[in-house]
Amino acid sequence: MTEQFDFEIDRIVQAINGRKSLRVILQFPEGLKRQAADVATTISRQVDAYIIIHGEPCYGACDVPRGKADLIVHFGHLPIPCLDSPNSIMFIQARSDADPMPVIQQAVGKLPQKIGLLTTAQHIHHIVPIMDFLKSEGKEVLVGKGDGRLFAEGQVLGCNASCARNVEKKVDAFLFLGTGNFHALAVSLASSKPVIIADPVNNEVRDISEIRDRMLRQRHGIIEKAREAKRFGILLSEKPGQRREKMAGYVGRLLSDKGLESIVVEMDLVTPNKLKALGLDAWISTACPRLAIDDYSTYEKPILTPIELEILLGKRAWEEYAFDEILEGQ
Protein backbone atom coordinates (compact mmCIF):
# COMPACT_ATOMS: atom_id res chain seq x y z
CA MET A 1 0.00 0.00 0.00
CA THR A 2 1.10 3.61 -0.40
CA GLU A 3 0.77 5.70 2.69
CA GLN A 4 -0.44 9.27 2.91
CA PHE A 5 0.81 11.77 5.46
CA ASP A 6 -1.07 14.42 7.37
CA PHE A 7 0.67 17.73 6.66
CA GLU A 8 -1.74 19.64 8.94
CA ILE A 9 -2.11 22.49 6.44
CA ASP A 10 -4.92 24.21 8.42
CA ARG A 11 -2.82 24.35 11.57
CA ILE A 12 0.13 25.80 9.64
CA VAL A 13 -2.03 28.43 7.93
CA GLN A 14 -3.52 29.42 11.29
CA ALA A 15 -0.05 29.71 12.82
CA ILE A 16 1.28 31.86 9.96
CA ASN A 17 -1.74 34.17 9.94
CA GLY A 18 -2.04 34.26 13.75
CA ARG A 19 1.63 35.19 14.20
CA LYS A 20 1.54 37.52 11.18
CA SER A 21 4.67 35.77 9.90
CA LEU A 22 6.17 37.38 6.82
CA ARG A 23 8.92 34.93 5.92
CA VAL A 24 8.32 31.20 6.40
CA ILE A 25 10.74 28.35 5.65
CA LEU A 26 9.34 24.86 5.05
CA GLN A 27 11.72 21.97 5.68
CA PHE A 28 10.99 18.42 4.53
CA PRO A 29 12.99 15.25 5.10
CA GLU A 30 14.15 13.39 2.00
CA GLY A 31 11.23 10.94 2.10
CA LEU A 32 8.66 13.74 1.90
CA LYS A 33 10.44 16.11 -0.51
CA ARG A 34 8.39 15.02 -3.53
CA GLN A 35 5.34 16.51 -1.86
CA ALA A 36 7.06 19.73 -0.78
CA ALA A 37 6.04 21.85 -3.78
CA ASP A 38 2.37 20.85 -3.47
CA VAL A 39 2.31 21.57 0.26
CA ALA A 40 4.07 24.92 -0.23
CA THR A 41 1.66 25.97 -3.01
CA THR A 42 -1.39 25.02 -0.94
CA ILE A 43 -0.11 27.06 2.01
CA SER A 44 0.91 30.03 -0.19
CA ARG A 45 -2.63 30.35 -1.52
CA GLN A 46 -3.98 30.90 1.99
CA VAL A 47 -1.42 33.30 3.51
CA ASP A 48 0.34 36.57 2.67
CA ALA A 49 3.71 35.31 3.87
CA TYR A 50 6.70 34.65 1.63
CA ILE A 51 7.03 30.84 1.59
CA ILE A 52 10.41 29.23 0.95
CA ILE A 53 11.27 25.53 0.72
CA HIS A 54 14.56 24.64 2.37
CA GLY A 55 16.24 22.64 -0.38
CA GLU A 56 19.16 21.12 1.53
CA PRO A 57 18.98 17.44 2.55
CA CYS A 58 17.35 16.83 5.92
CA TYR A 59 17.30 13.58 7.90
CA GLY A 60 16.13 14.58 11.35
CA ALA A 61 14.99 17.20 13.85
CA CYS A 62 18.69 17.51 14.74
CA ASP A 63 19.09 19.64 11.63
CA VAL A 64 16.74 22.61 11.41
CA PRO A 65 17.53 25.51 9.04
CA ARG A 66 19.66 28.27 10.47
CA GLY A 67 18.46 30.88 7.95
CA LYS A 68 16.42 33.93 8.94
CA ALA A 69 12.67 33.36 9.14
CA ASP A 70 9.69 34.39 11.25
CA LEU A 71 8.61 30.77 11.28
CA ILE A 72 10.23 27.48 10.29
CA VAL A 73 7.90 24.55 9.67
CA HIS A 74 9.77 21.27 10.00
CA PHE A 75 7.93 18.21 8.65
CA GLY A 76 8.37 14.55 9.42
CA HIS A 77 9.85 14.58 12.92
CA LEU A 78 8.99 15.39 16.49
CA PRO A 79 11.06 18.03 18.31
CA ILE A 80 14.24 17.09 20.13
CA PRO A 81 13.30 18.68 23.47
CA CYS A 82 16.83 19.24 24.77
CA LEU A 83 17.85 21.27 21.70
CA ASP A 84 17.53 25.05 21.75
CA SER A 85 16.91 26.96 18.58
CA PRO A 86 17.10 30.70 17.98
CA ASN A 87 14.27 30.44 15.46
CA SER A 88 10.57 29.92 15.92
CA ILE A 89 9.94 26.33 14.83
CA MET A 90 6.75 24.41 14.34
CA PHE A 91 7.08 20.62 14.08
CA ILE A 92 4.60 18.72 11.94
CA GLN A 93 5.22 15.04 12.52
CA ALA A 94 3.42 13.99 9.29
CA ARG A 95 1.29 11.21 10.73
CA SER A 96 0.99 8.22 8.43
CA ASP A 97 -2.47 6.94 7.52
CA ALA A 98 -1.19 3.33 7.33
CA ASP A 99 -3.47 1.18 9.49
CA PRO A 100 -1.18 -0.81 11.84
CA MET A 101 -3.78 -3.28 13.10
CA PRO A 102 -3.52 -5.90 10.30
CA VAL A 103 0.25 -6.23 10.78
CA ILE A 104 0.00 -6.15 14.58
CA GLN A 105 -2.56 -8.97 14.41
CA GLN A 106 -0.09 -10.86 12.20
CA ALA A 107 2.75 -10.23 14.69
CA VAL A 108 0.94 -11.16 17.89
CA GLY A 109 1.47 -14.92 17.56
CA LYS A 110 5.24 -14.38 17.21
CA LEU A 111 5.59 -12.28 20.34
CA PRO A 112 6.71 -13.45 23.77
CA GLN A 113 4.78 -12.50 26.90
CA LYS A 114 6.41 -9.19 27.85
CA ILE A 115 6.75 -6.66 25.07
CA GLY A 116 8.41 -3.27 24.80
CA LEU A 117 6.55 -1.21 22.20
CA LEU A 118 8.45 1.28 20.02
CA THR A 119 7.83 3.39 16.96
CA THR A 120 8.69 6.62 15.11
CA ALA A 121 7.02 10.02 14.81
CA GLN A 122 4.82 8.91 11.88
CA HIS A 123 3.11 6.15 13.86
CA ILE A 124 3.34 7.34 17.48
CA HIS A 125 -0.40 8.16 17.52
CA HIS A 126 -1.07 4.39 17.32
CA ILE A 127 0.87 3.49 20.49
CA VAL A 128 -2.16 3.49 22.82
CA PRO A 129 -4.55 1.49 20.56
CA ILE A 130 -1.81 -1.08 19.88
CA MET A 131 -1.00 -1.34 23.56
CA ASP A 132 -4.70 -1.89 24.34
CA PHE A 133 -4.96 -4.56 21.63
CA LEU A 134 -1.87 -6.45 22.80
CA LYS A 135 -3.11 -6.35 26.40
CA SER A 136 -6.45 -7.77 25.24
CA GLU A 137 -4.43 -10.64 23.73
CA GLY A 138 -2.91 -11.32 27.15
CA LYS A 139 0.47 -9.60 26.60
CA GLU A 140 2.21 -7.37 29.09
CA VAL A 141 3.21 -4.19 27.25
CA LEU A 142 5.69 -1.54 28.33
CA VAL A 143 6.27 1.78 26.62
CA GLY A 144 9.53 3.32 27.78
CA LYS A 145 10.38 6.95 28.39
CA GLY A 146 13.61 8.14 26.81
CA ASP A 147 16.09 10.89 27.61
CA GLY A 148 15.80 14.57 26.62
CA ARG A 149 16.33 13.83 22.92
CA LEU A 150 13.03 11.99 22.69
CA PHE A 151 9.73 13.85 22.65
CA ALA A 152 7.29 10.99 23.17
CA GLU A 153 7.18 7.79 25.16
CA GLY A 154 7.88 4.79 22.95
CA GLN A 155 9.64 6.95 20.36
CA VAL A 156 12.94 5.81 18.90
CA LEU A 157 15.41 7.76 16.76
CA GLY A 158 18.11 6.29 14.55
CA CYS A 159 20.58 7.76 17.06
CA ASN A 160 18.74 7.22 20.32
CA ALA A 161 17.12 4.11 21.72
CA SER A 162 17.02 5.27 25.34
CA CYS A 163 13.30 4.51 25.67
CA ALA A 164 14.10 0.87 24.81
CA ARG A 165 17.09 0.64 27.15
CA ASN A 166 15.02 2.07 30.00
CA VAL A 167 12.60 -0.88 29.96
CA GLU A 168 14.97 -3.51 28.56
CA LYS A 169 15.26 -5.51 31.79
CA LYS A 170 11.48 -5.82 32.12
CA VAL A 171 10.65 -7.13 28.63
CA ASP A 172 11.33 -10.34 26.65
CA ALA A 173 11.42 -8.58 23.25
CA PHE A 174 10.70 -5.31 21.50
CA LEU A 175 8.03 -4.78 18.89
CA PHE A 176 8.89 -1.93 16.53
CA LEU A 177 6.10 -0.46 14.42
CA GLY A 178 7.50 1.23 11.32
CA THR A 179 9.19 0.88 7.96
CA GLY A 180 12.87 0.34 7.14
CA ASN A 181 15.48 -1.38 9.30
CA PHE A 182 17.61 1.36 10.78
CA HIS A 183 15.53 2.22 13.87
CA ALA A 184 15.03 -1.44 14.74
CA LEU A 185 18.74 -2.03 14.17
CA ALA A 186 19.57 0.79 16.59
CA VAL A 187 17.36 -0.85 19.23
CA SER A 188 18.80 -4.27 18.53
CA LEU A 189 22.36 -3.01 18.99
CA ALA A 190 21.54 -0.83 21.99
CA SER A 191 19.81 -3.64 23.91
CA SER A 192 20.27 -7.38 24.28
CA LYS A 193 16.64 -8.26 23.50
CA PRO A 194 15.18 -9.51 20.19
CA VAL A 195 13.49 -6.90 18.01
CA ILE A 196 10.53 -7.73 15.78
CA ILE A 197 9.51 -5.25 13.10
CA ALA A 198 5.82 -4.82 12.24
CA ASP A 199 5.82 -2.84 8.99
CA PRO A 200 2.34 -1.37 8.45
CA VAL A 201 3.05 -0.16 4.91
CA ASN A 202 4.35 -3.43 3.46
CA ASN A 203 2.17 -5.45 5.88
CA GLU A 204 5.18 -7.52 6.88
CA VAL A 205 6.47 -8.94 10.17
CA ARG A 206 10.20 -9.60 10.29
CA ASP A 207 13.02 -10.23 12.73
CA ILE A 208 16.02 -7.88 12.63
CA SER A 209 18.56 -10.46 13.88
CA GLU A 210 19.84 -11.55 10.45
CA ILE A 211 20.37 -7.93 9.33
CA ARG A 212 22.02 -7.17 12.66
CA ASP A 213 24.47 -10.08 12.27
CA ARG A 214 25.30 -9.07 8.70
CA MET A 215 25.86 -5.49 9.78
CA LEU A 216 28.15 -6.60 12.63
CA ARG A 217 30.25 -8.64 10.17
CA GLN A 218 30.56 -5.54 7.97
CA ARG A 219 31.53 -3.39 10.95
CA HIS A 220 34.18 -5.91 11.99
CA GLY A 221 35.69 -5.72 8.49
CA ILE A 222 35.70 -1.92 8.53
CA ILE A 223 37.41 -1.77 11.93
CA GLU A 224 40.10 -4.14 10.62
CA LYS A 225 40.56 -2.01 7.50
CA ALA A 226 41.12 1.06 9.68
CA ARG A 227 44.08 -0.66 11.38
CA GLU A 228 46.31 0.43 8.49
CA ALA A 229 45.44 4.11 8.99
CA LYS A 230 48.14 6.53 10.11
CA ARG A 231 46.21 9.82 9.96
CA PHE A 232 42.61 10.06 11.18
CA GLY A 233 40.00 12.71 10.54
CA ILE A 234 37.52 13.34 13.36
CA LEU A 235 34.21 14.45 11.90
CA LEU A 236 32.47 17.17 13.90
CA SER A 237 29.05 18.11 12.58
CA GLU A 238 27.90 21.71 12.16
CA LYS A 239 24.31 20.52 12.56
CA PRO A 240 23.27 21.60 16.07
CA GLY A 241 21.69 18.28 17.07
CA GLN A 242 24.57 16.17 15.81
CA ARG A 243 27.42 18.24 17.17
CA ARG A 244 29.36 16.39 19.86
CA GLU A 245 32.37 18.52 20.75
CA LYS A 246 33.14 16.62 23.96
CA MET A 247 33.06 13.36 22.01
CA ALA A 248 35.39 14.80 19.35
CA GLY A 249 37.81 15.80 22.13
CA TYR A 250 37.62 12.31 23.67
CA VAL A 251 38.29 10.68 20.28
CA GLY A 252 41.31 12.96 19.71
CA ARG A 253 42.75 12.00 23.11
CA LEU A 254 42.22 8.28 22.47
CA LEU A 255 44.17 8.55 19.23
CA SER A 256 47.00 10.72 20.57
CA ASP A 257 47.44 8.40 23.60
CA LYS A 258 48.24 5.67 21.07
CA GLY A 259 50.63 7.95 19.17
CA LEU A 260 48.24 8.34 16.23
CA GLU A 261 47.78 11.59 14.38
CA SER A 262 44.33 13.13 14.04
CA ILE A 263 42.66 16.34 12.95
CA VAL A 264 39.12 17.57 13.63
CA VAL A 265 37.18 18.40 10.47
CA GLU A 266 34.02 20.44 10.82
CA MET A 267 31.35 19.87 8.21
CA ASP A 268 27.65 20.41 7.61
CA LEU A 269 26.58 17.92 4.96
CA VAL A 270 29.15 15.12 4.77
CA THR A 271 29.72 13.72 1.27
CA PRO A 272 32.22 11.18 -0.14
CA ASN A 273 33.90 13.87 -2.27
CA LYS A 274 34.40 16.24 0.66
CA LEU A 275 36.14 13.49 2.64
CA LYS A 276 38.15 12.24 -0.32
CA ALA A 277 39.52 15.76 -0.98
CA LEU A 278 41.16 15.81 2.46
CA GLY A 279 43.19 12.67 1.76
CA LEU A 280 43.09 11.23 5.29
CA ASP A 281 43.43 7.49 5.92
CA ALA A 282 40.31 6.88 8.06
CA TRP A 283 37.54 8.80 9.76
CA ILE A 284 35.90 8.73 13.17
CA SER A 285 32.42 10.22 12.96
CA THR A 286 31.00 12.00 15.97
CA ALA A 287 28.03 13.09 13.81
CA CYS A 288 24.86 11.11 13.00
CA PRO A 289 25.59 7.38 13.47
CA ARG A 290 23.83 6.64 10.18
CA LEU A 291 26.83 8.08 8.39
CA ALA A 292 29.16 5.31 9.52
CA ILE A 293 26.60 2.50 9.68
CA ASP A 294 24.21 3.14 6.79
CA ASP A 295 26.30 5.06 4.28
CA TYR A 296 29.73 3.45 4.81
CA SER A 297 29.81 1.78 1.37
CA THR A 298 29.74 5.15 -0.42
CA TYR A 299 32.98 6.26 1.25
CA GLU A 300 36.43 5.29 0.02
CA LYS A 301 38.07 5.27 3.45
CA PRO A 302 36.76 3.54 6.56
CA ILE A 303 34.42 5.56 8.79
CA LEU A 304 34.18 4.34 12.37
CA THR A 305 31.97 5.35 15.27
CA PRO A 306 33.74 6.38 18.53
CA ILE A 307 32.80 3.00 20.05
CA GLU A 308 34.39 1.20 17.10
CA LEU A 309 37.54 3.28 17.61
CA GLU A 310 37.68 2.03 21.20
CA ILE A 311 37.60 -1.52 19.81
CA LEU A 312 40.29 -0.71 17.23
CA LEU A 313 42.55 0.68 19.93
CA GLY A 314 41.96 -2.20 22.35
CA LYS A 315 40.02 -0.08 24.89
CA ARG A 316 36.89 -2.21 24.42
CA ALA A 317 36.38 -5.86 23.48
CA TRP A 318 34.55 -6.76 20.27
CA GLU A 319 31.99 -8.61 22.43
CA GLU A 320 31.15 -5.24 24.01
CA TYR A 321 30.22 -3.70 20.67
CA ALA A 322 27.47 -1.11 21.17
CA PHE A 323 25.48 1.20 18.99
CA ASP A 324 26.72 4.79 18.84
CA GLU A 325 23.81 6.68 20.35
CA ILE A 326 23.69 10.46 20.63
CA LEU A 327 22.42 11.05 24.14
CA GLU A 328 21.18 14.14 25.94
CA GLY A 329 24.11 16.24 27.15
CA GLN A 330 26.69 14.76 24.81
Q: Which is nearer to ligand SF4, 65 or 158 (CB)?
A: 158
Q: Which of 127, 152, 156, 159 binds ligand SF4 (CB under 6 A)?
A: 159
Q: Is 81 exposed, middle or buried (0-12, 13-18, 19+ CB in 10 A)?
A: middle
Q: Which of 242, 285, 286, 305 binds ligand SF4 (CB under 6 A)?
A: 242
Nearest partner of 63 among 129, 157, 130, 139, judged by Cα: 157
**Minimum CB distance to ligand SF4, residue 111 (Å):** 26
In the chain, what are the helix, strand and coil shares in percent, each to the nearest 5? 40, 20, 40
CA distance 67 to 319: 44
CA distance 177 to 200: 7
Site string for ligand SF4, 272-311 (x = CB under 6 A): ----------------x-x---------------------
**Minimum CB distance to ligand SF4, residue 299 (Å):** 16
For 257, phi and psi rounded to 5 degrees?
A: -60, -25
Task: Single out the segment in contact with ligand SF4 by CB under 6 A; choices: 105-113, 121-129, 153-161, 198-206.
Answer: 153-161
**Minimum CB distance to ligand SF4, residue 244 (Å):** 10
CA distance 298 to 273: 10
> Which helix H or strand E contains 277, and what residues bound it?
helix 272-278
Residue 158 in contact with ligand SF4, rule: CB under 6 A: yes
Residue 59 in contact with ligand SF4, rule: CB under 6 A: yes
**Minimum CB distance to ligand SF4, residue 150 (Å):** 10
Which amino acid type is present at position 30? E
Q: Which is nearer to ligand SF4, 172 or 268 (CB)?
A: 268
Binding site for ligand SF4 (CB under 6 A): 59-62, 157-159, 241-242, 288, 290, 326
